[in-house]
Structure 1
Amino acid sequence: MSEQPKWTSVMNNAGTYLYAVTRDEGATLPEDLKGVAGEGVRAITHAGLVAYVSTVPLDRFGEEPLRRSMEDLDWLGETARAHHRVVEAVARTAPTAPVRLVTVYSGEDQIRELLDRRHDDFAETLGRIADRQEWGVKAYVDPAAPPPAEAGEESATSPGLAYLKKRQASLRSREETWRQAAARGEHIHDVLKSVAVASQRHRPQDPQLSGRAEWMILNGAYLVDLERGAEFARVVDGLRGEGIDVELTGPWAPYSFAAFAETPERPGGGTGDDA
């Protein structure tokens, strides 16, 4: 990798932020599309591929500023929304391989080197996701309250022993409720897999992130053929009920099935693992 682009970028106090890669099919984006830090989005075409990028200031996107900024949840949320807005706009024009959040290169020559080095990987991924979209499915269950103690149970024992028995019964009931809920989550996933061409199960979200108090028993992503999108939604709808709430989101660009992890040399020195 040539050092000249790196020094040129550092001297200009600018780096190149990468959002996504597509095939070179002549697609165009809205001229007023803005990416991270409010910067405009442009295309770098090379080797039959197109990389969508922005120029970003190194005083905010260099190695040390990024290390601090990634701990700022407000900054991170705003940057993620801008990143996803660009990826979704690109995905409306062509099969799209998103690149992970905050992937910053020294300059355009480094982007072209990436397109050369990983050309076959991008081509294989773009072929696999063509004419397909990602759908997200989350399933929740509201755990039933423990059954009340039978009449006369507490009077037959001391108050302390009655409390322990009631507590043990409650724990057993909760464990059984969770076991049954987890089995239903597995069943829902299996049904959805039969409609999708690929699937991934993500870790259930903490209630603080999901905004719901119920147990999340499924957090799945499903890659679905375009012509089966309506069918997939009907299947999801049929899985609701009997204490299970199923939430469908999408369709999205296929982040779970096409996102590339890349660790470029950070502008300003060093490497990073945020990409």
Structure 2
Amino acid sequence: MSAANDDANGGGPHHDDLRYVYAVCRPLAAPLAADLTGVGGEPPRQLVHGDLVALVGPVPERDFAEKPLRGHLEDLDWLSGTARAHQRVIDALTTVTCPLPLRLATVFRDDSGVRTMLEDGAERFHRVLERIDGRVEWGVKVHMESDHVDNEVSAESGGAVSGRDYLRRRRSRRTAQEANWQRAEDFAQALHERLAGRADGSRLHAPQNSELSRAPGRNVLNAAYLVSRTHSEEFVELVDRTKGDEHGTSGLRVELTGPWAAYSFTGDAGDAGDSGDEEDTSV
């Protein structure tokens, strides 16, 4: 079955399958790839309700009913595979529209449950879809290499010859670290203000934990920007130009990711502050 087929076109899920919902969007102006597959290797389909569309796919109850799903969410391999399949569908959808992505493993009992979700959330869905229409999300991170100051001070210090010299060099190292971190944070703040001024919306997320993200260095900026597709090339060029503009601070790394679906802008919060989470609509 083509991924762009409506549920009314036949070939629907088995009676014991649940409905995995990837995103809500407006009717698609172009079809998705016929070979697109999502969670469980199943192709997604459009479930139309009025002027809203939910992109859904069948998933087995044995894996996605409430109890087994809780267990699977503790299995990192299963979770990683499901997340990749989920993102594959969202990425494909983002090439043809501006979707409102739902939380990973948003599952309903049947089509009726999905339609109820669309009906109950219609006002919010329309509001968010209007906000993100024609726009994508770009992510920008700034990292400060944590060993840069250590190496800089070590190169100057040589071997310690006395307790007094040791304490002096330790104070010097701490002072240099603090000054470099402050320069890095000043650079990140200035960069964020500059990028936010060229975007339709921005979000400041909490800094990433380097142990979890496995990204080297200290994360001093973790931001998302809502940018129109027509201005995205200019936005990317602006980020590229700032990568060498480090305000005298060495050891900085600017990272650009995207374009993504507008994950950070699908809540009901305004364009500043917390992004807001999607509703928990799992079974």
With the shorter chain as reference, the TM-score category is 0.7 to 0.9
Q: Matched residue of 1:180: which SS?
A: helix
Shift of 1:209: 4.0
Shift of 1:118: 0.8
Q: Which has the higher contact order (CA 8 A, sep 6+)?
A: 1
Say whether residues 1:247 and 2:252 are aligned partners: no
Partner of 1:144: 149
| 1:103 and 1:262 in contact (8 A); partners too | no
Distance 1:134 1:263 in 2: 22
Shift of 1:23: 1.1
What amino acid is aligned across from residue 230 of structure 2 in structure 1? E
Instruction: Please provide the CA RMSD for this pair.
Output: 2.4
Partner of 1:229: 232
Q: Which stretch of the first structure deviates more once superposed, 34-43 or 188-197?
A: 34-43
Distance 2:240 2:97 in 1: 29
Say whether residues 1:264 and 2:281 are aligned partners: yes
Could you tell me the percent identity over the aligned residues?
Answer: 40
TM-score, structure 2 normalization: 0.82
211, 225, 229: which one aligns with 1:208: 211
Q: Which sections of structure 1, spanning at least 5 residues, go unmatched?
A: 1-10, 267-275
Partner of 1:78: 81
| 1:141 and 1:181 in contact (8 A); partners too | yes
- Does the C-alpha gap of structure 1 residues 20 and 169 become closer, same or farther in structure 2, counting only changes over 3 Å? same
61, 67, 70: which one aligns with 1:64: 67
Shift of 1:152: 11
| 1:201 and 1:221 in contact (8 A); partners too | yes
- Does the C-alpha gap of structure 1 residues 37 and 167 become closer, same or farther in structure 2, counting only changes over 3 Å? same
Distance 2:85 2:68 in 1: 18
| 1:106 and 1:265 in contact (8 A); partners too | no
Q: Which stretch of the first structure deviates more once superposed, 96-105 or 66-75?
A: 66-75
- Does the C-alpha gap of structure 1 residues 163 and 44 become closer, same or farther in structure 2, counting only changes over 3 Å? same
TM-score, structure 1 normalization: 0.84
- Does the C-alpha gap of structure 1 residues 171 and 71 become closer, same or farther in structure 2, counting only changes over 3 Å? same
Q: Which sections of structure 2, spanning at least 5 residues, go unmatched?
A: 1-13, 268-276
Q: Matched residue of 1:17: which SS?
A: strand
Q: Matched residue of 1:168: which SS?
A: helix
Distance 2:69 2:255 in 1: 34
Distance 2:204 2:226 in 1: 12
Partner of 2:170: 167
Q: How does 1:1-275 map to 2 (within 5 A)?
A: 12-25=15-28, 27-142=30-145, 143-145=148-150, 146-147=152-153, 159-241=162-244, 242=246, 243=250, 244-258=252-266, 261-264=278-281, 266=283
Q: Matched residue of 2:153: which SS?
A: coil
Deviations 1:46-83 (A, max 9, x none): 02111000111111111111111111111111111110
| 1:134 and 1:221 in contact (8 A); partners too | yes
Distance 1:25 1:49 in 2: 10
Shift of 1:254: 1.0
- Does the C-alpha gap of structure 1 residues 162 and 264 become closer, same or farther in structure 2, counting only changes over 3 Å? same
Distance 2:177 2:211 in 1: 21
The count of aligned residue pairs is 253
Q: Matched residue of 1:30: which SS?
A: coil
